[in-house]
Amino acid sequence: MCRIGKNTCKSIAYFLSLLCLCCRFTVLLLPVNDFLIDPKNDLTYTMWKDIPVPFFMSVYFFNVLNPAEILKGEKPMVEQRGPYVYRKQCQKENITFHPNGTVSYREYRQYHFEPSMSAGNESDVVTIPNMLVLGASVMMENLPYVLRLMMSATFKTFKEGAFLTKPVGELMWGYDSGLVDFLNQYLPGMIPTSGKFGLFSEFNNSNTGLFTVFTGKDDIRKVHRVDSWNGLTELPYWRTAQSNMINGTAGQMWPPFMTKESTLPFYSPDACRSMELVYQRPGEMYGIPLYRYVAPKTLFANGTDYAPNEGFCPCRQSGLLNVSTCRHNSPVFISHPHFFNADPVLLDYVQGLNPSEEKHGLFIDIHPQTGVPLNVSIRLQLNLYMKKVSGITETGKISDVVMPMIWFEENGYIDGPIVNTFHTNLVVLPTVLEYLQYILIGLGLATIIYLDQLHSLLLLFWHSCDRIITLISNPPHPTPAPTDSTSIHVTVVTSITLLLLLSVDLQTNAMQNISYDLIRCGTVNSSACQ
């Protein structure tokens, strides 16, 4: 039997249950089902389907200052021009849910020039390497000499030189070229476009391919993870199975409940490969906690410096990703802007580059509990490998060099009404519930202490009454009554002292019994405390 009473034991059990419930409030705030890709989840599904935050692409051109000298073998000199900023609009279409817990879609993108955010106009004229001439020259390096002579004659016919000077808008989105029409007619497949030729002509009003991703229905840890891309579960571009793996998400959202040991893998169709970011540091944005993930130095390292990247070769210096295998064999390389985190020798080949992590490092700030990015900045640089090719006089005496052409940043961050929604759900409510948890714990402890003291007093009173009744029922042998006031006083003091000693003894025994009962009731179920 539980000696402190059935009600007290029930109070203790109720308090312990309440404590456990309080500790789970923050998890119950966002149930696991709310993270699924499901039209029933208004907030998360809308964020996934139509990205609610503005995204921008900022483009910087490397304007060539000494094209004539480069043809004589001198070191290239460039100056950065820009940014030319474009608002990016993304929308998922053809959304189809499948019985195996996946969903397929195509994401379409459009770009609109933002003059107020740009450091110039699309009419600005810049000089960059001519990819049609220099790229084709390297691609034809090992062909018969006579074919190279014929190609050189073709370049002259269409008045195409090693460098191109045109407005930014035409270089971005395309310009009419007789050479492009000629190559498409007689050498189909040599270049990736059949109309106007531009650096981003494939991007605007296009989609990123058919993605199939997991909804998280069967396993929340797989939500947003790519199952296939264009029907492929692995890529055909690279030399090893590891390099051809399609890992991670589509690069927009990640599974919830991330830790500092978690990584941020995603597949990029534009880079033709999967990439993985690593944790750098914690932070805050609008009071919302976040983790910052950055690209490791090994991301674009060559196979010599980092063996797992051997599959992306043939390689040049570390810091360059050879994407020729997925770009019609054009000698194109991707890197961080200004060759940040690359082999320092690349900076010696080109004058005018100044890499820094703050300006040129890519990062993603993510809310770890939801997997939702709060601030994103993806920065990449497009480079062209150029060299002298015998038989093609347009290449002159150009030294072998990986020449930077442009670099671009795609960035976006939460803003507007979505910030208030996030702050309320991810900061305010968890804080309120945390304080409420401690308040309820305090109230529970105070209640137990109050009941404990009350029960002790009741036990003391009961034992005292029982003792008095016993004394009345069995009086001691009569003694002579005191006759003087001193004797009466001594007798009263003695009696009171005896009663106090008795009370202390009774209270000590009662407290020992209550302590025993508390321990016993705390280690067995409530039914044992009846």
Cβ(182)–Cβ(153) below 8 Å? no
Distance CA 49, CA 97 (A): 13
Nearest to 499 by CA among 458, 459, 465, 456: 465
pTM of the model: 0.77
Q: Please provide the DSSP assignment of 25-85 as one string.
A: HHHHHS-GGGGS--TT-HHHHHHHHS--S-EEEEEEEEEES-HHHHHTTPPPBEEEEEEEE
Indicate if the alpha-carbon torsion angle 203, 206, 210, 214 is positive or negative.
positive
Q: What is the pLDDT of residue 461?
A: 65
The end-to-end CA distance of the chain, in Å, is 6
Under DSSP, the state recorded for 499 is H
pLDDT value of residue 70: 97
Q: Per-residue pLDDT for the chain (530 aa), expressed as one digit of tens each?
A: 444 454 554 454 444 444 444 444 444 345 667 788 999 887 778 878 887 778 999 999 999 999 999 999 999 999 999 999 999 998 899 999 999 999 999 999 999 999 999 999 999 999 999 998 999 899 999 999 999 999 999 999 999 999 999 999 999 999 988 888 887 777 776 666 666 888 998 888 889 999 999 999 989 899 999 999 999 999 999 999 999 999 999 998 899 899 999 999 999 998 999 999 999 999 998 888 999 999 999 999 999 999 999 999 989 999 999 999 888 888 999 999 999 999 999 999 999 999 999 999 999 999 998 888 999 999 999 999 999 999 999 999 999 999 999 999 999 988 777 777 766 766 676 677 667 777 877 777 777 777 667 767 667 766 666 666 776 666 655 555 444 444 444 444 444 444 444 444 444 444 444 343 433 443 334 444 44
What pLDDT was estimated at residue 491?
43
Specify which residues 93 forms β-bridges with.
106
Q: What is the pLDDT of residue 286?
A: 85
For the chain, domain boundaries:
1-26+429-519, 31-414
pLDDT at 495: 45
The values of phi and psi at residue 44, to 5°, are -70, -35
- Do 322 and 373 form a contact (C-beta atoms < 8 A)? no
Helices 145-157 and 178-186 pack at an angle, to 10 degrees, of 140
